[in-house]
Amino acid sequence: MFYKKSRAKVGGKYKWFPRACVNKHTVNTQDLGEAISRKCTVTPADVHAVIRSLPEVMSFFMENGNSVHLDGLGSFYYKLSCAGNGVDTPEEVSTEQVKAVRVQFIPERRKENGKYCRVLGERVELVKFGD
């Protein structure tokens, strides 16, 4: 993973931080389908169809209060964002407080050598980009 130097204002002073570089070419569903099909016996078209169906099916289960766990990837569930709009009593709680419904993702973790490691990002090697 590449990073570059980035300046940001913190507490009235500018500080320097590493910032992740993201490639301008986004990997799309077609790219994923072709890459997955090379790792198994399923055709790219079949993989593409499954990937395209996944959001609708996940949404159905999550809208019904379930979290969705994908083995080797992690768990997804809905989370309400109320942006500091708390009320004083339980009777005042209403949907009017909700500013957004967000999808929370927690990467899967596994135990290795007595400690837990996240599946995504655990083997990321940082490489300085450019200057």
pLDDT tens, position by position, 61-82? 999 999 999 998 999 999 999 9
Cβ neighbours around 47 below 10 Å, total: 21
What average pLDDT score do residues 21-25 get?
85
Question: Of all residues in the chain, what percent carry a pLDDT higher than 70?
Answer: 99
Specify the CATH class of 1-126 in words.
few secondary structures
Picking from 112, 81, 115, 113, the residue whose alpha carbon sits closest to that of residue 98 is 81
For residue 119, what are the contacts with CB-CB under 8 A and spacing of at least 6? 72, 73, 74, 107, 108, 109, 110
Strand 109-112, strand 100-107: pairing = unpaired
CA distance 44 to 3: 32
Domain boundaries, the chain: 1-126
Q: What is the mean pLDDT of the chain?
A: 89
